[in-house]
Structure 1
Amino acid sequence: MKTSTEIPVHRLADSVFHASYGSDINLGDHSATHRVDFFAIIWFGSDSDPHYIDFKPYPVKKNTVYLLARNQVHSIPQSRPDARVIIFSKDFFDSIEEDDLRFIFVPFNNEGITITPEMEKPMTYLFDLIKLENSTNNNLHLLHIYTSAFLLQLHRLSHNSKTLTAYHDERLRKLFQLIGTHYKTQKLVDFYADKIGLTSKRLNQIMKEKIGLSISQIIYNYTLIEAKREISHRTKSMKEIAIELGFKDQSYFSRFFKKQTGITPEHFRKEIF
């Protein structure tokens, strides 16, 4: 679906936490494509047409959970599928104590996590507790406990995901943190290897073994996702986006974008759904 305006942003307004069924959520503009200004857990209850996370399609299957990080662009089918949804602010996310539970919100890997048949009922009970507390006393301490328990179960279930499993390696957790912070200005592998205390060759070997990607490919993934988001916002010129993402000029950025996607940034902006 084409649009001539900036993609709308869905916000939590004055609240920091909300849990409900998807059909009950009202965050302003109901456009199918939107950017989220919060973190979200989306648990689909039925099969439907694919949804899109950062412009890439993912299947909507019953008992599949997707995690959205703040600033990601999300597009849902025109007919909203059944879903249980938990959304919370950056402050709530930052106050989750366990590193592993925050790290499952992987910004460049958006594979769904399947809830197994034996875990469906316990996870339903947890969601119901979260929803009940949110709609009654709304005690943030209790919401943290319940939500952390829910995320812990997802963390266990995510062990079948190759990329998410890589986050159980302390060195790779640090690497992803570093890349997430510095990818716009630091494109060379040596910078990250030096910070972690390994050679570039060894760090790349670990990456290849764990998730089948090189460090350069991870940097490209971060850069491409951010490029798509900035282009979709329609508030900056291609030259401004290129400079902010660390490219020496617009033509170099355009070549990078076309090599990764098969189309130019200008074409992407025109055809964006």
Structure 2
Amino acid sequence: MTTKCIPLERLKREVNLINPFINKISDLYSVRGLDVVSRPHRLNFSALIYITEGQGLHYVEHQQHRLRTGSMLVLGKNQIHAFAKERSVDGYVLSFDCSFLSNGSNDPYFDLLLSAMVHINCVHHADEDIGPLFSAMVNEFESTSEFKDEIIRNLIRSIILKAVVPSYQHQKQSSQRIGNNDYYRLKKYIDEHFQDRPTAGDIALALGKSTKQLDKLAKDHAGLSVKELVDERVLVEAKRLLAFSQYSISDIANRLGFNEATNMTKFFKRHTDVNPKDFRQLCKIGLHQK
């Protein structure tokens, strides 16, 4: 039976997000079944998928990634992904809430970790020492040490800093300014309220900042204004709903805070050069990669 909405996968321990968990890819196929793991679904948490053997495909948003031993996928909260129809790889799936990564309010790297995870979905050739870090983490999940959580936290941070952050910095061709957690708060607010289409003034009031401060924060970390960050988030959601749901274009426009479907069409075409109907059709025939 076909449903309109995109299935949502929730973190197993929502009442205690401090505890991430790890699974083998082969176990996911075995326990959940092929139909479930290969169906596009949205995450309400973040995940790292590290390939230890084999070659295969994985789908994140509108892109197909070819994987091999040493590849690592980076999935952020609210992103849509799907495993391949036939399992040809094995490895680890590490699921966690990003708040687990923080070392406190004065953490100098937290924003950088988050920015890297937002912008990088696949590291095709992770360094050889990433595998041992995952192996150490698997062992630590079985540990009874009082320092277990802290060790796991630092192992995850090490993996992201060693594999994901360099790819992000290379992609940007410049190091990002490492600030405090204000940018995380800004991105979190936009992620939770983008459907209301908040203005920079609305967000500034909610976060206790001036619009000038927020725009500088957004420019320093993403090279975009606050309005552009909101538009970017709305656009991402529009693409997800067009590609993976059965909602009509009018329904999608309404869900994203547009007064009329024509307004969303203008917005979408301005940012992508194609209209929503054509984009949906391109996704169906597998030609649209971005």
TM-score, with structure 2 as normaliser? 0.68
Q: 1-side partners of 2:90 and 2:49: how far apart? A: 6
**Superposed displacement of residue 112, structure 1:** 3.5
Q: 1:205 to 1:19 in 2, by over 3 A?
A: closer
Residues 87 and 49 from structure 1, CA distance in 2 versus in 1: closer, same or farther, beyond 3 angstroms?
Answer: closer
Assess, with a 3 A threshold, how the Cα gap between structure 1 residues 244 and 231 changes in structure 2: closer, same or farther. Answer: same
Residue of structure 2 in register with 1:63 after alignment: 70
Match of 1:185 among 196, 199, 209: 196
Could you tell me which amino acid in structure 1 is paired with residue 119 of structure 2? Answer: N
Q: Which residue number in structure 2 is paired with residue 156 of structure 1?
A: 161
Separation in 2 of the partners of 1:46 and 1:261? Answer: 37
Counterpart pick for 2:138 among 128, 149, 160 = 128
**What residue ranges of structure 1 are gaps of 5+ in the alignment?**
none
CA shift for structure 1 position 182: 2.1
1:72 aligns with 2:76: no
Q: Is 2:178 the partner of 1:171? A: no
TM-score, normalising length from structure 1? 0.71
Q: How far does the alpha carbon of each residue in 1:149-174 deviate from its partner, in whole angstroms, 9 at most, with x for none?
A: 33221343244324895675323122
Aligned length: 260
Match of 2:50 among 11, 23, 43: 43
Give the CA deviation at 1:62: 4.5
Alignment of 1:70-109 (within 5 A): 70-77=77-84, 80=87, 82-88=89-95, 93=97, 96=100, 98=102, 104=113, 108-109=118-119
Q: Distance in 1 between matches of 2:190 and 2:157?
A: 25
List runs of 5+ in structure 2 lacking aligned partners. 15-19
Residues 5 and 246 of structure 2 are in contact (CA less than 8 Å); yes or no, is this contact kept in structure 1? no
Distance 1:192 1:13 in 2: 28
- Pick closer, same or farther for the CA change 1:143–1:105 going to 2, 3 Å: farther
Paired residues of 1:108 and 1:221 also in contact (CA < 8 A)? no
Following the alignment from structure 1 to structure 2, what is the Cα–Cα distance between the partners of residues 166 and 48? 36
Cα deviations by residue, 1:213-235 (Å, 9 ceiling, x for unpaired): 33233212211222223334535
Partner Cα distance (2:130, 2:248) in 1: 47
Name the CA distance, whole Å, in 2 between partners of 1:216 and 1:261. 17
Going from structure 1 to structure 2, the CA distance change for 1:220 and 1:64 (only over 3 Å counts) comes to farther
